[in-house]
Amino acid sequence: MSTAGLFDLDSIAPFFQADSLAVIGASTEPRKQGGRPVRYSRLGGFRGKVYPINPGASEVQGMPAYPSLSAVDDPVECAFIALPAPAVEAAVRACISKGVRAAIIVSAGFAETGDRGRRYQDRIVALARASGMRLIGPNCMGAMDVARAFFPTFLPMWGDERHDAPKVGSISLISQSGAFGAHVYELARARGVGFAKWISTGNQCDVQVADCIAYFAHDPATRTIMVYLEGSPEPGKLIAALRLAREHRKPVILLKSGRSAIGAKAAMSHTGALVGSDDAFNGLCTQTGVHRAQTIDELLDIASACVAGKFPSRREVGLVTISGGIGALMADYAEQVGLAVPPLPQGTQEKLLKVFPYGAARNPVDPTALWARDVSVFGHSLRALLGDGGHEVVVLFASSVGTIPALRDAILTQVRAVRDQFPDRLIVVSMIGPAEVIAQWRSEGFPVYEDPRRALEVVAALAGFARLVAGKERLHPIPRAPHTPRIIPGEALNEFEAMRELECAGIPMTPRRLCGSRADAERAAASLGFPVVMKIVSPDIPHKSEMGGVALNLRTRREVAAAYESIMKRIKKGAPKARIDGVLLARQIAHGIETILGASIDPTLGPVVMFGIGGIFVEVYKDVAFRVAPFPVSEARAMIREIKGYRILAGARGRPPVDLECLARAASRLSLFAAANAATLVSVDINPFMVLPRGEGAFGVDALIERVRR
Amino acid sequence: MSTAGLFDLDSIAPFFQADSLAVIGASTEPRKQGGRPVRYSRLGGFRGKVYPINPGASEVQGMPAYPSLSAVDDPVECAFIALPAPAVEAAVRACISKGVRAAIIVSAGFAETGDRGRRYQDRIVALARASGMRLIGPNCMGAMDVARAFFPTFLPMWGDERHDAPKVGSISLISQSGAFGAHVYELARARGVGFAKWISTGNQCDVQVADCIAYFAHDPATRTIMVYLEGSPEPGKLIAALRLAREHRKPVILLKSGRSAIGAKAAMSHTGALVGSDDAFNGLCTQTGVHRAQTIDELLDIASACVAGKFPSRREVGLVTISGGIGALMADYAEQVGLAVPPLPQGTQEKLLKVFPYGAARNPVDPTALWARDVSVFGHSLRALLGDGGHEVVVLFASSVGTIPALRDAILTQVRAVRDQFPDRLIVVSMIGPAEVIAQWRSEGFPVYEDPRRALEVVAALAGFARLVAGKERLHPIPRAPHTPRIIPGEALNEFEAMRELECAGIPMTPRRLCGSRADAERAAASLGFPVVMKIVSPDIPHKSEMGGVALNLRTRREVAAAYESIMKRIKKGAPKARIDGVLLARQIAHGIETILGASIDPTLGPVVMFGIGGIFVEVYKDVAFRVAPFPVSEARAMIREIKGYRILAGARGRPPVDLECLARAASRLSLFAAANAATLVSVDINPFMVLPRGEGAFGVDALIERVRR
C-alpha cells in the first residue's frame, strides 16, 4: 500500500529543482538575509537564472536588479521573500500573478508572535492555496540543493567566514528550526560531511516536515534522511512519510524536542495517565524503523556513518585496541548496545599470538605496545577479524597513536590496505588528535569518533538499519476487521456497552450478563458457572469499588442474591441519584496474567495503542509499549515482545507461557477500532485484559470507553 | 572514624615528592622508555638530582651517566627501572642496597604474562617488603608531579611531537592501565586541562589504586580525583580510600571497566543470582559520593568542570539559547538529568521582552536572532538569570555564533563582564567552532562542550557533588549491633538455624517453632495462632515446595496434624535418605509487601547487601539496590529509597505505607552480620522479608545461609 498519494511531490520540487529564482528583497549587502541567496548563487555557479528584486538598486552584487517581480520578462519558478512581515502579503500576491510555483518566506512576525500574526499568516496561506502556489516558512531559513548550487537560503555558508564551499553528499536534512538546521550544517561541515538537500520549514504554514520527508524518500540524490522535529500538524502525513522512507529503504535519523503535556482529559483514565506522547512517539519510531536520536551528536554520528552504505546484517563486532583497559571498556559497551563480541577461531588466535605473544587475540584483539616497533600489528589484527573471523564491522581504538606524526601515514596505509582487501566491510575508528589527521581518515571513508562508546553506538545503529536497507522490513498489510463499530459522540459508555462495542470490534471479553433484578442475577450466575463477580453498572459511578459496587468470588446462588441486595443497598445510600443500568455478572477468572490494553488520541500522533503488564507494577515500572494505530498482528507481536515483562508472559520461573497470539490479535483489533473512531474517541481502557495460558485465550475483564462529548 | 591508618602515605610520598631520581636503564635515545624521564626532567627543569644509570655510556642526553646505582655517591630516594624483565630483580636488589625508598618498575613480563611471571613478581615484592621499599608497577607507565617537574614516567609528553609542556592543574589521575592514562592525558592536554599528579599503577604488585586515592585525598595540590579502575585486590582499602576522599571534600570521578563474572556459587541462591558485582559497585559509588562515569568523555567533562570550584547547591539551571529548538531540547535534557528550569520573575521577563520583543524570556531565554544586530542581548539574558533569577548556573547555547570572527570578541567580552559581576556563579557554554576559539573560552574559566546535552549532564554532576564539597555529607558512624553471631564454616544451615542466627543479629523473623512430632506441631500451631504454614526442615532438601515439603494456610489443629502426616509421607517417598530435622511451623502472614534482603561476598568488593521488591517482578525488572557492608541505618534508608518500587512501599495507589524504619534497621543489621562474617559466609538470602504497614514491623519468612565449606 503506497501512501505517496497523500503528498503532492511535484509541487514541492521547485523548492529544490527550479531553474529560475527571484530574490524579493535582494540586498546589495552580501551578508544580509536578502543578500545571501544572490551571493551563494554566484559563488556556487548556479546555472539557472537569478533575478534580484530591489526597487532601490539597478544592480545587486554585480547582477542586474529588477524594481519588481512583474518587471521580470521570463517566467519565475521559485521566489525567496526576505521582506519585513507587513510587505510579505503584497510580495505573495505578486508571485501569484507572476505564476511562481513555490515561494519561501523567511521573514519573521507571523504565527510565532501571537494571534494577530497567525491571522495574517492564514490570509497569506489562503491566497497561495487558491492559486496552487506552495509556501515554505514563514520564519524559516529556506532550502537548498547543493549539487545544483541552488541556494534560496540565508543559512550562513561560505565567504570570508567559512572558507570552503558546501560539500555535496548523500544526506538530506529537514529541520523545523532554522537555527537547529544551521547548527547541524556547521557541525557537519567541520566533519567534512556533505548534504544532498537541506530545508528548514519554520512555521510550516503549508509545506510540512512530513512533505519534505516524502520528497526525500523519492529523491534519488538522498540516501539518508535527517530530521529535526518539534511537532506535526497532521500526524497521518508524518506517519505516511516515514513509511514511504522505509519503502524506499532510506534510513531516517530523527531528533524530536519538547515532550507534549499529557492531555488533561486523557489523564482521567488510568491508561490515559500513562500516555505521554513522547512514549507514543518512540512507538512510532520503532514501528517505522526510524532511529530516534537523543542528542545532536548522535544525530550526526549515525547519519554520517550511513554514508558508507555498509549496514552489518549481524549484531556483532570485532574489536582492536591499543589499550587492554579500553578493550575491556569497549566489550562492556558492545554488550550495552546489544552487540556480541564473538571470539576468533582458536587457530587464528594462535597465529596472532605468534605476532604479539604478550597480547590478546580472542576479541578484543590487543597487540599491546608492539605497534611502536611495527605498525603491521594493526593489519594483522584487522585481517584476522575480517578474514577468519568473518566480521562485517571492526572498531579500531587507536587513541592518539594513529595521529603520531612518525607513524600516522604508516598506520593509515595498513588500515587502507585491509579495507581495500575487504571493500564491503566497515572499519570504524576511535582516535584522538589534530583535526586535520582525523579529517584525512574521514575523507577516506572511515567513520572516526573520539570516544569509543560512540563508535559502538554507531555500529549498533547501523545494524539496526540493515533489514530496512536490504528491503527486508516488509510492510505488513493492515487487515480489515470483520466489523468495526462506529462510536458516536456522547457520555462515557457504561461498562457493559463498552465491552459490547469492543467485542464487536473483535476483542474478546469475558462472558457476562447484564441483570436488572436479583432473580436475573441468580439465573445468570448459574448459566455462567460459579464463581462469579458482580459489579454495579451506572454511568454515574466511575469508581465502583470505592462505592461498594463490586462483589468478588460469589460461589452460590445464595451468595449472588445476598450480594445483589447489599450492593443495591450501599449504592442507594452512597449515590441515591445515580442512574442504575443494572448489575454486570461475569465468570471470575482466577488464573492468567493481568495486562492492560489502552487506546487514546495523542495530540501529535492521532490514535495510539498502549500495552503493558497490569497491576500496581505497571504504575511503578511504566513497562509499557506504544504503537500508532492501525497496525497488523505482526506489529502487535513486536509491541508485546518489547516490554521487559515479556519474560513473564513467555513463561518465567516455571510458569506456562500465555496465549500470546490471542493477545496480539486483540491489540491489533483495538488499533483498528481506535483508528476507525479517531474523531469521536477520547480513550479506551481495558484493564485488566487477562491473558490465560496458551490455547486458553485472553479476555477483557473491565472496559471503559470515553467519547468526545456531544 | 578516620581510616587513614590503613595507608602508609609517607612511604608513597617519594613517588611524587622525591628530590633525587635514578633512571635505571637510562637511554641515550630520548624517545625510549629509559630516555624519556631524563629528557622530561631536563625540559621541565626539575630542581632535584637525576642520575642516569647506564653501564654502556658515560653520558646520557648531556647528563653524566653512572655505570651502576652503587656508583652514585649521594643518596637516591626514587628509582625508575626500565630494563628487560629478567634484569629487574638485580636492579631491585641494588635499589634496596642503596636505600632507595620507592621504585617504579615499568617493564612488562610479570604477572600479566602468566604463572611464571607472577612467581617472579612475587619474589621481587617479597624482597621490597622485607626492606620497606615501596613498588609501583610492574607493567606501568610511572608517575609524575607536574608542579615539581618530577617525571619518572614514559608517558608521551612534550618534545617535537607535542609542542607544549605539561600544564599544572588541580586534577590528579590514577589509572590502572597505562595506555588509558596516556589517552586521558592527551585528551586533557588538547582541552587545556592540567594535572596536579598522574600515576599508572599497572600490575599493582604493591602500591594500589586505593593507596593513591588515599594519598591524593591528603594532597593539598589535588582538588579533584580521576580514577580508572579494573579491579581492586583489597576491597576494604578501596572503600576506605574513597571515604577518605569524601572526608577531604574532594570529588572523585571514576570509570570502571570489566563486569566481573557472577560467582558460580552465588548463583545457586536466588539473591546470589542477582548480585552482579557491577551493580554492587554502583552501590559503593552512591555510598561514597563517587560519580561513576560511563565514558571517557564523561570522566573528563566532569573532572574538568570541577576545576572551577563551583558546585550549585540547588538542582536547577538557567538556560540561554540562540535557537528556540535547542532551548526546548535543553529543557528536555534538564528534566532528564534532574534539574529544574524555574521561570524568571514576571517583572524580569517583561524587562527582557522590551529588549527582544519576539524572543522568549521565561527560561529558557531566547533573544532570537537579535544577536546579529546587538550582542548585548547575551549580557541582558545572562544577567537576568543570575541576578533577578538568582541562578547559580547558567548554560549558554551559542552554536557557532560565539565563534564568528566578526562577533566572537564582543560576545566573549559580554559574557566575561557578567562573570566578573557574579564571580561565584558558573556559566557553562555549549558552542562549536575552531579549536583556538574554544580554547580561549576555556582558558578564561568557562567550561565549553559541543553538545548541549553534555553541558546539562555536567551541571547535574556538579550539583551532585555540592553537599560533599561543602562538607555536608557527614559520615554516619556504623552502630554496633547488640550481638553479632559468628558463623563458622560448614554446610548450609537449615532454615531454622538460619533464622535463629539472623534473629540473634537483630533481624526480625516471623514467630515459629521447630517441631519433632505431630503432637509437637499441633501444640505449636495453637500457641502461634492460626492460620499457620508448615515446612520440612532438612539440610538435604533445598527445594522444599517441589518435594511437597510445604503446607500453607492451615486453619485448625486437625489440618496441622493431617499436613504433618502427608508431608512426612511425601518426603519418605521422595527423599528416603534425607536427614529430617523436623518441621517448622510459622504464623501465616497474609498482608504486607514481599521484599528481598540478601548478602553476598562480592569478589571485588567483599561483603555487600542487596535489597529489592520480591516476587516474580524482582527477576524481571531487577529493581534492586546494593550497598557495601557494613552501613548504618541512614544508608539503609537511602538504599530503600533508591529502588523504583519505593513508591509501592511508601504507599502507592491508596495502600498504607509500610514500616520503613523496621526494614531499614534490618538491612543495616544484615550488613553488620555480613561484614562480621565476611570470611566464612557465602550468601544470606531472606526471601521474602515481609514488610507490614507502618508500626506493624517486618519479618523474614524464609531464610537461607550458605557458609564456606569446612
pLDDT of residue B270: 28
| CATH dotted code for B511-587 | 3.30.1490.20
- Residue A157 above 90 pLDDT? no
Name the segment(s) of chain A with CATH classification 3.30.470.20.
593-707
Span B538-567, average pLDDT:
89
CB distance A324–B179 less than 8 Å? yes
Per-residue confidence at B159, pLDDT binned at 50, 70, 90?
low
- Asked if the interface predicted TM-score (ipTM) of this complex is over 0.85, the answer is yes
CB distance A177–B616 less than 8 Å? no
Per-residue confidence at B277, pLDDT binned at 50, 70, 90?
confident
Domain B593-707 has CATH 3.40.50.1820: no
Query: In angstroms, what CA-CA distances link B318 with B306, B355, B394?
Result: 19, 18, 4
- Residue B545 above 90 pLDDT? no
CA nearest neighbour of A278 among A251, A255, A312, A308: A255
Which of B177, B295, B332 faces A325 most closely, judged by CB atoms?
B177
Class of residue A558 by CB neighbours under 10 A (exposed 0-12, middle 13-18, buried 19+) = exposed
Closest-CA distance of chain A to residue B176, Å:
8
Which of A177, A258, A326 faces B179 most closely, judged by CB atoms?
A326
Per-residue confidence at A548, pLDDT binned at 50, 70, 90?
confident
Whether A530 contacts chain B with CB within 8 A = no
* A559-610 pLDDT per residue, tens: 999 999 999 999 999 889 988 999 999 998 878 889 999 999 987 788 999 9
Query: In angstroms, what CA-CA distances link A319 with A450, B76, B276, B501?
Result: 15, 44, 24, 49
- Residue B420 above 90 pLDDT? yes
Closest-CA distance of chain A to residue B333, Å:
9
Span A126-143, average pLDDT:
96
pLDDT of residue A605: 85
pLDDT of residue A264: 25
pLDDT of residue B269: 29
Per-residue confidence at B162, pLDDT binned at 50, 70, 90?
low
Which of B230, B325, B645 faces A230 most closely, judged by CB atoms?
B325
CA nearest neighbour of A107 among A55, A142, A68: A142
What DSSP line would sit under B63-130, residue for residue? EE-BSSGGG--S---EEEE-S-HHHHHHHHHHHHHHT-SEEEE----SGGG-HHHHHHHHHHHHHHHH
| CATH dotted code for B323-434 | 3.40.50.261
CB distance A177–B294 less than 8 Å? no
pLDDT of residue B266: 26
Closest-CA distance of chain B to residue A495, Å:
22
pLDDT of residue A473: 77
pLDDT of residue B279: 85
CA nearest neighbour of B511 among B347, B701, B295, B259: B701
Name the segment(s) of chain B with CATH classification 3.40.50.261.
323-434
H helices of A252-395, in order, are 270-274, 277-288, 296-306, 324-336, 346-355, 376-386
Rounded CA separation A419/A426 (Å): 8
pLDDT of residue B368: 82
Closest-CA distance of chain A to residue B693, Å:
17
Query: In angstroms, what CA-CA distances link B150 with A344, B153, B172, B197, B443?
Result: 43, 9, 14, 10, 25
Class of residue B610 by CB neighbours under 10 A (exposed 0-12, middle 13-18, buried 19+) = buried
Query: In angstroms, what CA-CA distances link A527 with A587, A631, B658?
Result: 10, 37, 43
Average pLDDT score, chain B: 90
B396 strand-pairing partners = B320, B429
Name the segment(s) of chain B with CATH classification 3.30.1490.20.
511-587
Nearest-by-CA chain B residue for A255: B329
H or E segment to which residue B420 belongs: helix B408-421
Rounded CA separation A582/B291 (Å): 60
| Most confident range, picked from A488-497, B40-49, B535-544 | B40-49
Query: In angstroms, what CA-CA distances link B183 with A450, A466, B157, B203?
Result: 11, 33, 11, 18
| CATH dotted code for B4-250 | 3.40.50.720
Name the segment(s) of chain A with CATH classification 3.40.50.261.
318-460
CB distance B323–A405 less than 8 Å? no
* A184-226 pLDDT per residue, tens: 999 999 899 999 999 999 999 999 999 999 999 999 999 999 9
- Residue A483 above 80 pLDDT? no
Least confident of A313-327, A501-515, A611-625: A611-625
Average pLDDT score, chain A: 90
Cβ pair B584, B496 in contact under 8 A:
yes
List CB contacts (< 8 A) between A255 and chain B: 329
User: Whole-prediction pTM value?
Assistant: 0.91
List CB contacts (< 8 A) between B156 and chain A: 400, 404
Per-residue confidence at B473, pLDDT binned at 50, 70, 90?
confident
CB distance B322–A109 less than 8 Å? no
Task: Say if residue A630 is preceded by a cis peptide, omega within 30 of 0.
Answer: yes
β-pairing, A102-105 vs B681-691, is unpaired
Cα three-residue angle B488-B493-B498, rounded to 5 degrees? 95
Span B379-401, average pLDDT:
95
pLDDT of residue B481: 67
H or E segment to which residue A195 belongs: strand A195-200
How would you write B538-571 as a 3-class SS string? CCCCCCCCCCCCEEEEECCHHHHHHHHHHHHHHH
Whether B276 contacts chain A with CB within 8 A = no
- Residue A160 above 70 pLDDT? no
Cα three-residue angle B410-A140-A303, rounded to 5 degrees? 90
Residue B61 is classified by DSSP as T
Per-residue confidence at B3, pLDDT binned at 50, 70, 90?
low
CB within 8 Å of B609: residues ≥ 6 apart: B597, B598, B599, B626, B627, B629, B631, B639, B667, B670, B671, B674
pLDDT of residue A477: 75
Rounded CA separation A369/B585 (Å): 65
- Residue A47 above 70 pLDDT? yes
* A402-413 pLDDT per residue, tens: 888 888 899 999
Cα three-residue angle B75-B78-B83, rounded to 5 degrees? 115
Residue B670 is classified by DSSP as H
Segment 24-63 of chain A within 8 Å of chain B by CB: none
- Percentage of chain A beyond pLDDT 70 is 95
Closest-CA distance of chain A to residue B218, Å:
27
β-pairing, B512-515 vs B582-587, is antiparallel
List CB contacts (< 8 A) between A164 and chain B: none
* B474-517 pLDDT per residue, tens: 767 777 766 788 888 888 788 899 999 999 999 999 999 999 99
List CB contacts (< 8 A) between B399 and chain A: 179, 182-183, 186
- Percentage of chain B beyond pLDDT 90 is 73
* A76-99 pLDDT per residue, tens: 999 999 999 999 999 999 999 999
List CB contacts (< 8 A) between A404 and chain B: 156, 161
Name the segment(s) of chain A with CATH classification 3.40.50.720.
4-250
What is the CATH topology of the domain spanning A318-460? Answer: Rossmann fold (3.40.50)
Query: In angstroms, what CA-CA distances link B412 with A71, B177, B440, B448, B668?
Result: 47, 39, 9, 13, 53
